[in-house]
Chains A and B, each alone.
Chain A
Amino acid sequence: MTADEFYDDEEEIDFSDLREQYEVKLEEGLDTFVVIDGLPKVPEDNKPKLVKFLVKKLQAVGSTKEDSVYMPMGEDGQSQGFAFVEYETATQAAQAVKKLNGLALDKRHTLAVNKLTDIERYGREGRIDEKYVEPEQEPFVEQEHLRSWIGDVRARDQFVLFRADTVGVYFNNKKDSPEMTVERQFWTESFVRWSPLGTFLTSLHPQGVQLWGGSSWKRMARFPHPAVYLVDFSPCEKYLVTWSNKPIVYQEGMPGLTPEEDGKTYIVWDVKTGKLLRSFPPIENAQEADKPPNMRKKIQWPLFKWTADDKYCARVTPGSSISVYETPSMVLLDKKSIKLEGVVDFEWSPYAPTEDEAKKVSGEQLLCYWTPEINNQTARVSLMAIPSKEIIRTRNLFSVSDCKLHWQSEGAYLCVKVDRHSKRGKSTFTSLEFFRIKEKNIPNEPIEIQDTVVNFAWEPKGDRFVLITTGELPPAGAAPAPPKTSVSFYAPEKTKSPPAGPFRLIRTIDKRNSNAIFWSPKGRFCIVATINSQSSHELEFWDFDFDGEKKESEKDLAANLQLIGTVEHYGVTDLEWDPSGRYVVSSSSMWKHTMENGYHMWDFKGNSLREDHIERFKQFAWRPRPPTMLSKEQQKQVRKNLREYSRQFDEDDLILESEASATIIEARRRLLEEWRAWRGKMERELEEEREDLGLPPAGADEEKEMEGATVIEEIVEEVIEEKEEEIA
Chain B
Amino acid sequence: MRPILLQGHERALTQVKYNKDGDLLFSVSKDHVICVWYSQNGERLGTYNGHQGAVWTIDPNPSSTILASGGADNTIRLWDMKTGKLFKTWDFPTAVKRVEFTEDGMFVLGTTEERMGHLGTIVVFPVNPDIEGEQVNEPSLRIVCETKKKAVVAAWSYLGKYIIAGHEDGSVSQYDGKTGEQLLNVPVHERGMLIMDMQMSADKTYFITASKDKSAKIIDVKTLNILKKFETDTPLNTAAITAKKEFVILGGGQEAMNVTTTSARQGKFEARFYHKIFEDEIGRVRGHFGPLNTIAVHPAGVSYASGGEDGYVRLHHFDKGYFDFMYEVERTRAQH
Give the contacts of B272-318 with A (CB-CB under 8 A): 276-278
Residues of B within 8 A of A615 (CB): 233
Residues of B within 8 A of A678 (CB): 220, 227
A615 vs B235: C-alpha distance when bound (angstroms): 12
Residues of B within 8 A of A669 (CB): 329, 333
Contact between chains at A665 and B329 (CB < 8 Å): yes
Partner of B330 from A672, A689, A693 at Cβ < 8 Å: A672
Whether, in the assembled complex, A613 has its beta carbon less than 8 Å from a beta carbon of chain B, the answer is: yes
Assess A686 versus B158: contact at CB under 8 Å? Given A613-B233, A665-B328, A669-B329: yes
Contact between chains at B278 and A690 (CB < 8 Å): no
Contact between chains at A698 and B333 (CB < 8 Å): no
A665 vs B278: C-alpha distance when bound (angstroms): 11
Residues of B within 8 A of A689 (CB): 158-159, 161
Residue in B closest to A705 when the chains form the complex, CB atoms? B21
Whether, in the assembled complex, B52 has its beta carbon less than 8 Å from a beta carbon of chain A, the answer is: no
A695 vs B333: C-alpha distance when bound (angstroms): 32
Give the contacts of A144-177 with B (CB-CB under 8 A): none
Residues of A within 8 A of B233 (CB): 613, 615
Give the contacts of B174-231 with A (CB-CB under 8 A): 203, 205-206, 220, 222, 227
A637 vs B233: C-alpha distance when bound (angstroms): 49
Whether, in the assembled complex, A675 has its beta carbon less than 8 Å from a beta carbon of chain B, the answer is: yes
Assess A686 versus B277: contact at CB under 8 Å? Given A615-B233, A672-B330: no
Question: Per-residue CB proximity of A680-700 to B under 8 Å, as 1/0?
Answer: 001101100110010100100
Give the contacts of A575-597 with B (CB-CB under 8 A): 595-596
**B319 smallest CB distance to A (angstroms):** 20
Whether, in the assembled complex, B262 has its beta carbon less than 8 Å from a beta carbon of chain A, the answer is: yes
Whether, in the assembled complex, B128 has its beta carbon less than 8 Å from a beta carbon of chain A, the answer is: no
Residues of A within 8 A of B246 (CB): 675
- What number of A-B contacts does a CB cutoff of 8 Å give? 47
Partner of A686 from B203, B227, B266 at Cβ < 8 Å: B203
**A562 smallest CB distance to B (angstroms):** 31
Whether, in the assembled complex, A620 has its beta carbon less than 8 Å from a beta carbon of chain B, the answer is: no
Residues of A within 8 A of B82 (CB): none
Specify which of B222, B266, B329, B333 lies most central, judged by the most chain A CB atoms within 10 Å of its CB.
B329
In terms of DSSP, what is the predominant structure of the interface of chain A?
helix
Residue in A closest to B276 when the chains form the complex, CB atoms? A675
**A616 smallest CB distance to B (angstroms):** 11
Question: Per-residue CB proximity of A393-427 to B under 8 Å, as 1/0?
Answer: 00000000000000000000000000000000000
| B-side interface residues, number (CB < 8 Å) | 22
Residues of B within 8 A of A665 (CB): 328-329
Assess A672 versus B203: contact at CB under 8 Å? Given A665-B328, A690-B159: no
Whether, in the assembled complex, A668 has its beta carbon less than 8 Å from a beta carbon of chain B, the answer is: yes
Assess A672 versus B265: contact at CB under 8 Å? Given A690-B159, A693-B159, A698-B203: no
A665 vs B330: C-alpha distance when bound (angstroms): 10
A595 vs B158: C-alpha distance when bound (angstroms): 43
Contact between chains at B262 and A595 (CB < 8 Å): yes
Partner of A671 from B205, B262, B278 at Cβ < 8 Å: B278
Whether, in the assembled complex, A200 has its beta carbon less than 8 Å from a beta carbon of chain B, the answer is: no
Contact between chains at B203 and A671 (CB < 8 Å): no
A242 vs B326: C-alpha distance when bound (angstroms): 57
Whether, in the assembled complex, A570 has its beta carbon less than 8 Å from a beta carbon of chain B, the answer is: yes
Contact between chains at B159 and A596 (CB < 8 Å): no
Contact between chains at A570 and B278 (CB < 8 Å): no
Residues of B within 8 A of A685 (CB): 222
Partner of A668 from B203, B276, B278 at Cβ < 8 Å: B278
**B24 smallest CB distance to A (angstroms):** 15
Assess A668 versus B205: contact at CB under 8 Å? Given A570-B265, A596-B266, A675-B277: no
A683 vs B203: C-alpha distance when bound (angstroms): 9
Residue in A closest to B221 when the chains form the complex, CB atoms? A682
Residues of B within 8 A of A596 (CB): 266
Residues of A within 8 A of B329 (CB): 665, 668-669, 672
Contact between chains at B266 and A595 (CB < 8 Å): yes
Contact between chains at B278 and A686 (CB < 8 Å): no
A695 vs B161: C-alpha distance when bound (angstroms): 14
Residues of A within 8 A of B227 (CB): 675, 678
Contact between chains at B266 and A672 (CB < 8 Å): no
A683 vs B222: C-alpha distance when bound (angstroms): 12
A613 vs B333: C-alpha distance when bound (angstroms): 33
A690 vs B158: C-alpha distance when bound (angstroms): 10
Residues of A within 8 A of B276 (CB): 675
Question: Per-residue CB proximity of B98-128 to A under 8 Å, as 1/0?
Answer: 0000000000000000000000000000000
A105 vs B325: C-alpha distance when bound (angstroms): 95
Residue in B closest to A674 when the chains form the complex, CB atoms? B277
Question: Per-residue CB proximity of A611-634 to B under 8 Å, as 1/0?
Answer: 001010000000000000000000
A675 vs B279: C-alpha distance when bound (angstroms): 12
Question: Per-residue CB proximity of B15-47 to A under 8 Å, as 1/0?
Answer: 000000000000000000000000000000000
Residues of A within 8 A of B159 (CB): 686, 689-690, 693, 695
Residue in A closest to B277 when the chains form the complex, CB atoms? A675
Residues of A within 8 A of B161 (CB): 689
Give the contacts of A482-514 with B (CB-CB under 8 A): none
Residue in B closest to A595 when the chains form the complex, CB atoms? B266
Residues of B within 8 A of A570 (CB): 265
Assess A672 versus B158: contact at CB under 8 Å? Given A665-B328, A683-B203: no
**A689 smallest CB distance to B (angstroms):** 6
Assess A672 versus B262: contact at CB under 8 Å? Given A665-B328, A690-B159: no
A526 vs B262: C-alpha distance when bound (angstroms): 32
Residues of B within 8 A of A675 (CB): 227, 246, 276-277
Residues of A within 8 A of B203 (CB): 682-683, 686, 698
Residue in A closest to B263 when the chains form the complex, CB atoms? A595
Question: Per-residue CB proximity of B245-283 to A under 8 Å, as 1/0?
Answer: 010000000000000001001100000000011100000
A547 vs B246: C-alpha distance when bound (angstroms): 49
Partner of B205 from A682, A693, A695 at Cβ < 8 Å: A682
Specify which of B159, B220, B246 lies most central, judged by the most chain A CB atoms within 10 Å of its CB.
B159
**A667 smallest CB distance to B (angstroms):** 8
**A697 smallest CB distance to B (angstroms):** 11
**A560 smallest CB distance to B (angstroms):** 37
Residues of A within 8 A of B220 (CB): 678, 682
A658 vs B159: C-alpha distance when bound (angstroms): 47
Residues of B within 8 A of A668 (CB): 277-278, 327-329
Contact between chains at B158 and A671 (CB < 8 Å): no
A698 vs B159: C-alpha distance when bound (angstroms): 10
Residues of B within 8 A of A671 (CB): 277-278
Contact between chains at A672 and B333 (CB < 8 Å): yes
**B287 smallest CB distance to A (angstroms):** 20
**B332 smallest CB distance to A (angstroms):** 8
**B278 smallest CB distance to A (angstroms):** 6
A693 vs B278: C-alpha distance when bound (angstroms): 35
Residues of B within 8 A of A672 (CB): 277-278, 329-330, 333
A695 vs B220: C-alpha distance when bound (angstroms): 22
Residue in B closest to A682 when the chains form the complex, CB atoms? B205
Residues of A within 8 A of B266 (CB): 595-596
A74 vs B138: C-alpha distance when bound (angstroms): 108
A35 vs B265: C-alpha distance when bound (angstroms): 76
A180 vs B285: C-alpha distance when bound (angstroms): 33
Residue in B closest to A670 when the chains form the complex, CB atoms? B329
Residue in B closest to A661 when the chains form the complex, CB atoms? B328
25 contacts between A and B (CB under 8 A): A570-B265, A595-B262, A596-B266, A613-B233, A615-B233, A665-B328, A668-B278, A668-B328, A669-B329, A672-B277, A672-B333, A675-B227, A675-B246, A675-B276, A678-B220, A678-B227, A682-B203, A682-B205, A682-B206, A682-B220, A682-B222, A686-B205, A689-B161, A690-B159, A693-B159
In the complex, given contacts A570-B265, A665-B329, A689-B158, what are 7 additional A-B residue pairs having Cβ atoms less than 8 angstroms apart? A615-B233, A665-B328, A672-B329, A682-B205, A682-B220, A690-B159, A693-B159
Which 3 A-B pairs have CB atoms at the shortest separation, nearest pair first? A668-B329, A682-B205, A675-B277
- B residues in contact (CB < 8 Å) with A: 158-159, 161, 203, 205-206, 220, 222, 227, 233, 246, 262, 265-266, 276-278, 327-330, 333
